[in-house]
Amino acid sequence: MARPAQLGFQDAAAPIMEELLHLHDHAMMVVFLISTFVLYIITLLITTTLTHTETMNAQMVETVWTVLPAVILILIALPSLRILYLMDEISTPHLTIKAIGHQWYWTYEYTDYDDMTFDAYMVPTQALTPGTLRLLEVDHHTIVPVDSPTRVLVTAEDVLHSWAVPALGIKTDAIPGRLNQTMFTTSRPGLFFGQCSEICGANHSFMPIVMESTSLNTFEGWSTTMIQP
């Protein structure tokens, strides 16, 4: 999860998020090189008193500063398009979860099981136990097995919401009357926190999401207790 005064992203917990971090580093390196080059040119223009008259109408210089930015944009766009298609790719999931946004809590339905549905409310500050996180903890965690492709169907019952977990690289809009889907695979066990990322009303910032990635045996034991009458 994010820490106070953190300047970078959260540690990736899914392959898609790792790819997004690599794209960010790639784009930032390009921006850094361009900024350094522009600063160098500006410094030369300020410090030198000579004027090279032959470069004032140089066709080659104009060609270079037109073609070079296009090449740089292509170098950024190609990996970006690749990740965009990877994020939209829905392969054969091992588990399907339906997340329904309400004002202001989430309902989760494990569609592969019979009658396995629960609501996830934020834990009030006065009810927090030592070590839990204020405004991020919920009373029921959404548990998924590690290294298992999981599909999430996202919708809303009343207004627009957004189901987002930064460590997993997920942000999907929850729209009433529409069913959006996304997919992720957790690469390690742990707790991954998120929140509603849409301004859905007065309490939109109090719709936390807690994804808990566990081993397959632990998940099966938890699912057995959840579906008991």
Q: What is the pLDDT of residue 88?
A: 86
Per-residue pLDDT at 201:
86
Alpha carbon distance 56, 174 (integer Å): 55
pLDDT in tens, 203-226: 888 999 999 999 999 999 998 887
Between CA 36 and CA 123 the distance in angstroms is 48
pLDDT digits (tens, 9 = 90+) for 41-74: 899 888 887 766 666 667 787 888 889 999 999 9
More confident residue, 227 or 153: 153
Whether 145 and 83 map to the same domain: the answer is: no
Same domain (yes/no): 167, 149? yes
Show the tokens assigned to 180.
């959006």
Give the count of domains, the chain: 2
Q: How large is the average pLDDT for residues 69-83?
A: 92
| Boundary-marking domain end, from 88, 111, 138 | 88
Q: Classify the phi-psi angles of 181: left when phi > 0, otherwise alpha if psi is within -120 to 50, otherwise beta.
A: beta
pTM of the predicted model, to two decimals? 0.84
Q: What is the pLDDT of residues 87-125, one digit of tens each?
A: 888 888 999 999 999 999 999 999 998 889 999 999 999
Residue 65 sits in the same domain as residue 176:
no
- What local confidence, expressed as pLDDT, does residue 192 receive? 95
Residue 118, beta-bridge partner list: 108
Residue at 6 is within a domain: no
Residue range 73-95: average pLDDT?
90
Last residue of a domain, one of 27, 55, 88: 88
Q: Rounded to the nearest 5°, which phi and psi values hold at 227? A: -95, 0
- Say if residue 79 is in the same domain as residue 110: no
Pair (148, 57) in one structural domain: no
Cα 169–Cα 167–Cα 114 angle in degrees, nearest 5: 80
Cis amide bond preceding 104, omega within 30: yes
Q: What is the mean pLDDT of residues 182-194?
A: 94
Q: What local confidence, expressed as pLDDT, does residue 211 receive?
A: 95
- The domain that contains 32 carries what CATH number? 1.10.287.90
106 with 55, same domain: the answer is no
CATH number at residue 182: 2.60.40.420
Structural domain for 60, as ranges:
15-88
Q: For residue 163, tell me if it sits in a domain.
A: yes
Residue 147 pLDDT grade (very low, low, confident, very high; cuts 50, 70, 90): very high
Cα–Cα distance, 183 to 159 (Å, whole number): 23
List, in order, residues 6 or more apart from 67 with CB less than 8 Å away.
none
Average pLDDT over residues 26-53: 87
Residue 228: is its pLDDT beyond 60? no
What is the share, in percent, of the chain residues with pLDDT greater than 90?
68
pLDDT of residue 61: 79
